[in-house]
A and B are shown apart, each in its own frame.
Chain A
Amino acid sequence: MKSISEIRTDFPILSRKVYDKPLVYLDNGATTQKPRSVIEAMDEVLTSFNSNIHRGVHALSDEASMEYENAREKVRSFINAPTKEEIIFTSGATSSINTIAFSFGERYIGKGDEVIISHLEHHANIVPWQMMCVRKEAKLRVIPIDDNGELIYDEFLKMLSPRTKIIAVSQVSNALGTLLPVNKIIEDAHSFGIPVLIDGAQGVQHALTDVMSLDCDFYVFSGHKIYGPTGIGVLFGKEKWLSELPPYQGGGDMVKNVTFEKTTYNELPFKFEAGTMNFPAAIGLGVALDYVLSIGRENISRMEQDLLVYATNRLSGIKGLKIYGNSLNKIPTISFLLDGIHMYDTGMILDKLGIAVRTGTHCAQPVMDRFGIDGTVRASMCFYNTRDEIGTLASGIEKVIKMFA
């Protein structure tokens, strides 16, 4: 296995400085950095075989199409989906959720029906459902959370009814880092015949994800949060659903036959891929997944758990620091506030020390409302972070406390 310093040299940006201080990048929940292999792969597309996919008869188009479809196969294998046709490329997790919220809503949701989400959702897994519910006069129901940031499961069970048409929950809360009991949710939902969408935006890069054993009906994630490029995302859907759903957007490549009277749609997965897709990014994502596999998902998991335990111990030892999200099941993300110090002041000073964290509501305003706060400071780590960096964060926080106390 590669050493941590070898891993870090794979990511060129990690060696840069900000304000003359070594960069400590702890904003991986927002986006992750890219290994050299991904950067080179994208460069290779544009310098060697850039050409529109699925269109031309010429060599370049063939090569680009092949690489694009090859990336689809890599995604399929990575999340262990049954077939390649069930893997749709989108522009990101947000777009994947919008696709299902729209298409599923059109096909299956009527007046008085219900959609269940959780109180922990990112805005991307709230707003598309809200928009659809308004359109269809359906009702959005929300699974409440307790003070530790965990779902109150009994409340969820009580919500299930013949009116429930779909359930959409995160694999991991982006604001708190806590894992949701998705296995149980899917099992209980299926016992009522209700399909489940899992938002894996914060899960796929940390937890081993196998959509076949999970048995979820839809699974979505973003490329840029798993060391791949921005502008590419994935929508997995079981064939039985995807073939029933109407397309989300119309355009080129998603059609079989077009006349002004009638259009017949292309087969899966192309039915959901209207227009020229972001194929350089899709290819880059494939290479990012290769990279993750080369490090080893179990190794990543072990390194990240070690970081989480170390950071939790180190930070909870700081007087006046309160961690939000105290579940035992977490990805290496720590959301916190310092007693009497505004998150923005904390973030500004940490930034000047070269430490990149996120401040604010993390696009999960309802979570913050639940805790009665305006937001938190979020340090989101991943396997390329080190204990030394946690040390830098801890001493940075102590400096902040000294300045503002």
Chain B
Amino acid sequence: MTISETQDIIIEEFSVFDDWMDKYNLLIDIGKDLPLIDPKFKIKDFLIEGCQSKVWLHPEFDGNKIYFSADSDAIITRGIIALLIRVLSNRTPDEIISAELYFIDRIGLRQNLSPTRSNGLLSMVRQIKLYALAYNVKQKSK
């Protein structure tokens, strides 16, 4: 499934609900399903700066694709990072770098997930793309 296809599925899942409260409950459930990060990666090196809540993001690169695991101490933030991982994990660095993220605008939580809020969404996306860039360089220099 491509990045766009995954985004479209998420948009559809959220479109079932009109009420923001239901959308949040969905986000909370998604957060609970976030694959657990190995506790040894919950250290400062993997902490993302610029979030009001703590977010740890760990990348793993097998030479072809990057796999992310993450956690946060706030549940809504866990939901957000879980969505990002669903869209951007298990992808090649090239796919991640060129990805255009539109699902945030379209799931109806724009006001809450916009980069102007201090929820760190922007920092999370930036960090994911930075890892992709780094692995991209590593891959090409081989």
Contact = CB atoms under 8 A, between A and B. Distances in A.
A348 interface: yes
Interface stretch (B5-13, B59-67, B68-76, B89-97): B68-76
Interface stretch (B20-28, B40-48, B98-106, B130-138): B20-28
A355 to B, nearest CB: 14
A213 B40 CA distance: 58
A351 B119 CA distance: 13
Interface in A305-357: 341-342, 344-345, 348-349, 351-352
Interface in B22-37: 24-25, 28
A342 B112 contact: no
Given A360-B52, A404-B28, A345 B112 contact: no
B73 A342 contact: yes
A303 B13 CA distance: 48
Contacts of B76: 344-345, 348
Given A344-B77, A345-B75, A359 B52 contact: yes
B28 A344 contact: no
A348 B111 CA distance: 11
A342 B53 contact: yes
Contacts, number: 36
B52 A344 contact: yes
Interface residues of B, number: 16
Nearest to B77: A344
Report, as a range, how many residues of chain A touch the other chain.
10 to 19
A404 B112 CA distance: 17
A19 B20 contact: yes
A134 interface: no
Chain A contact residues: over half helix, strand or loop, or mixed? helix
Contacts of B74: 342, 344-345
Interface of A: 19, 341-342, 344-345, 348-349, 351-352, 359-360, 374, 403-404
Contacts of A374: 54, 73
B110 to A, nearest CB: 12
Given A19-B20, A342-B75, A352-B20, 19 more contacts: A19-B111, A342-B53, A342-B73, A344-B52, A344-B74, A344-B76, A344-B77, A345-B74, A345-B75, A345-B76, A348-B119, A349-B24, A374-B54, A403-B21, A403-B24, A403-B25, A403-B28, A404-B28, A404-B75
A341 B53 CA distance: 12
Nearest to B111: A19
B24 to A, nearest CB: 7
A345 B52 CA distance: 10
Interface of B: 20-21, 24-25, 28, 52-54, 73-77, 111-112, 119
B14 to A, nearest CB: 15
10 contacts: A19-B111, A341-B75, A342-B53, A342-B75, A344-B53, A349-B24, A352-B20, A403-B28, A404-B28, A404-B75
A300 B137 CA distance: 63
B112 A352 contact: yes
Nearest to A361: B52
Given A345-B75, A404-B75, A352 B24 contact: yes
A345 B53 CA distance: 9
A360 B118 CA distance: 11
A19 B76 CA distance: 19
B28 to A, nearest CB: 7
Contacts of B28: 403-404
Contacts of B111: 19
A359 B119 CA distance: 11
Given A403-B25, A403-B28, A404-B28, A344 B20 contact: no
8 closest A-B pairs by beta carbon, nearest first, are A342-B74, A344-B74, A344-B53, A344-B52, A345-B74, A345-B76, A345-B75, A348-B76
A263 B102 CA distance: 60
Interface centre among A342, A351, A404 (most CB of B within 10 A): A342
A349 B24 CA distance: 9
A360 B50 CA distance: 13
B54 to A, nearest CB: 8
Contacts of B73: 342, 374
Nearest to A341: B75
A354 B16 CA distance: 24
Select the residue from B25, B54, B74, B112 with max chain A CB neighbours within 10 A.
B74
Contacts of A341: 75
